[in-house]
Amino acid sequence: MTDSRSDRFVRSHLKTRHLVLLVELGRHGSIAHAAQAANLTQPGASKLLGELEHALGVQLFERLSRGVAPTWYGKVLIRRAGAALAEMDAAHQEVMELLSGLRGRVGIGSVLAPATSLVPKAINLLKSRHARVHVSVKMSTSKVLVERLRSGELDLVVGRILDTAAADELHFEPLTDEPHLLIARSDHPLAGRTDLQLEELVRQCWILPPAGSILRDRLTALFLSHGLEQPAETVETQDLPVVASLLMNSDMIVALPAEAVQAYLQTGLMAILPFDLGVSMDSFGIVTRKRHQLSPGADAMLLALRDTATTMYPHYSKP
């Protein structure tokens, strides 16, 4: 099939049900289950999938003994179909907003530090301007959040772009980097010491982020560069309430940006141990999709983030 014939199919014959089927196939890995979720018969779903593959001239799914698995082509179509459906939902929501004043929904994702400071302040500012806008907040790693942004599940992300292959699709406004400090409860046995050594610290019980995260990799490199084994006693979590509870009720230590536990530091419940880890993260910032028009509610959230960031980060310059 020529490119022009494929283009004509996409523009003239591609239906919403094709997009829904693609998303459900990616979710369920089964034509039968995807058909049920898309409110289609199994033969109807198979026919739609065949139409897509014939029109595009590529195999989108491998037929396995127990279902289907997307090929590389299929993965691209699934992601794009999800984004297209999200755009259609957003268009409907935007029309409703315009009919009844600024309201609707905005989905924002954030990594840990700004989720405890920038994002709540920006939401308060947004609510003071547009009380009826509903805000949904997700906190996770940058990798997870950016994928949700690319698929249309989120409107904005405060985090990092780690996948260079996705960089061309995204716009990044840097806010600040995150120097990480060693945090413990204020009456920790090591608090106030001025002669701390990494060899002593590695024998403590550490609260660590999940394996594969940037911070975990940098802490691992720190220990290895000093010829040390990894801490033998660890708890793995990035859930801030869990981290805070563990710190307050034990002698555990954790590497965090001060911003994440500022309230505890200000009230004297936690303290910064006097040891320079020399560990920081790459700059985080506001991530949006290029060539994507934000809904009025999401645009208002973006403005609130920018206005709040100007009061928090000295080096940030609002576009």
pLDDT of residue 128 exceeding 60, the answer is yes
10 vs 310, residue with greater confidence: 310
- Interatomic CA distance for residues 258 and 294, integer angstroms: 32
HSE-CB for 317 with a 13 A CA cutoff: 0
pLDDT at 2: 45
Residue ranges of the chain assigned to CATH 1.10.10.10: 3-79
By mean pLDDT, which of 153-157, 235-239, 249-253 is the weakest? 235-239
pLDDT at 97: 62
* Rounded average pLDDT over 1-12: 54
Residue ranges of the chain assigned to CATH 3.40.190.10: 101-177+282-312, 181-278
pLDDT at 224: 93
28 vs 96, residue with greater confidence: 28
170 vs 293, residue with greater confidence: 170
- Interatomic CA distance for residues 28 and 31, integer angstroms: 8
* Rounded average pLDDT over 255-261: 88
pLDDT at 196: 92
pLDDT at 285: 93
The percentage of the chain sitting over the pLDDT mark of 90, rounded to a whole number, equals: 52
Residues 6+ apart with CB under 8 A from 319: 173, 306
pLDDT tens track for 50-85: 888 888 888 999 989 888 999 999 999 999 888 888
pLDDT at 11: 61
pLDDT at 112: 85
pLDDT at 1: 42
Residues 6+ apart with CB under 8 A from 212: none
CATH of domain 181-278: 3.40.190.10
* Radius of gyration from C-alpha coordinates of the chain: 24
Q: Check: CB of residue 148 under 8 Å from CB of residue 288.
A: no
pLDDT of residue 101 exceeding 70, the answer is no
> For the domain 101-177+282-312, what is the CATH superfamily, name and number?
Periplasmic binding protein-like II (3.40.190.10)
* Rounded average pLDDT over 255-260: 88
pLDDT at 13: 67
The CATH T-level fold of domain 3-79 is Arc Repressor Mutant, subunit A (1.10.10)
Per-residue burial over 50-80, b = 16 or more CB atoms within 10 Å of its CB, e = otherwise:
eebbebeebebbeeeeebbebeebbeebbbe
* Rounded average pLDDT over 279-291: 86
Tell me the H-state helices in the chain. 3-12, 16-28, 31-37, 42-56, 72-100, 112-115, 118-129, 142-150, 198-201, 214-225, 240-248, 262-266, 296-312
With the C-alpha atoms ordered 190, 192, 198, 200, is the resulting torsion angle positive or negative? negative
pLDDT tens track for 196-222: 999 999 999 999 988 878 888 889 999
pLDDT tens track for 264-274: 999 999 999 99
Give the chain's mean pLDDT: 88
